[in-house]
Amino acid sequence: MSNSRSGQVKNRAPAPIQISAEQILREAAERQEQHVLEPIVKIHDAEEYQSHLRDRRQNYETNIRYRREHMSNWVKYARFEEDNKEFERSRSIYERALEVDHRSSELWLRYAEFEMRNEFVNHARN
């Protein structure tokens, strides 16, 4: 008998502040993080390239330090290393991310895709 009554509303009075769906959507859009396109960097020599890589890695590490639980930061960092053919570094980043959240199915999927995309099939199996 108590199960049929548990779904009933006890307080039927209107809320003191009414919020429309439009207001909720507007607030969500305002709170969303802005996607910023990074400027195109022209690199002229190996030393400048290494400096650029060091700066980018430092930025990614800072993002991870402040937002450790956001798996997208880890994946972006790993993709950056993969794009620069630094496969061991990329693998290390995925492993570090898995230490933070080993239950993230999205992270495991990205990690396996990385290994298969770069033809490291034995790593993907393990």
Q: What is the pLDDT of residue 50?
A: 93
With H, G, I as helix, E, B as strand and everything else as coil, classify residue 37.
coil
User: Among positive and negative, which fits the CA dihedral 98, 104, 106, 112?
Assistant: positive
Report if pTM > 0.95.
no
**Cα 88 versus chain centre, distance:** 20
Only one residue has tokens 């393990």, namely 126
Nearest to 72 by CA among 60, 81, 83, 82: 60
Nearest to 75 by CA among 118, 123, 54, 63: 63
Q: What is the pLDDT of residues 34-81, one digit of tens each?
A: 777 778 878 889 999 999 999 999 999 999 999 999 999 999 999 999
Q: What is the pLDDT of residues 74-117, one digit of tens each?
A: 999 999 999 999 999 999 999 999 999 999 999 999 999 999 89
CB 100 within 8 A of CB 69: yes
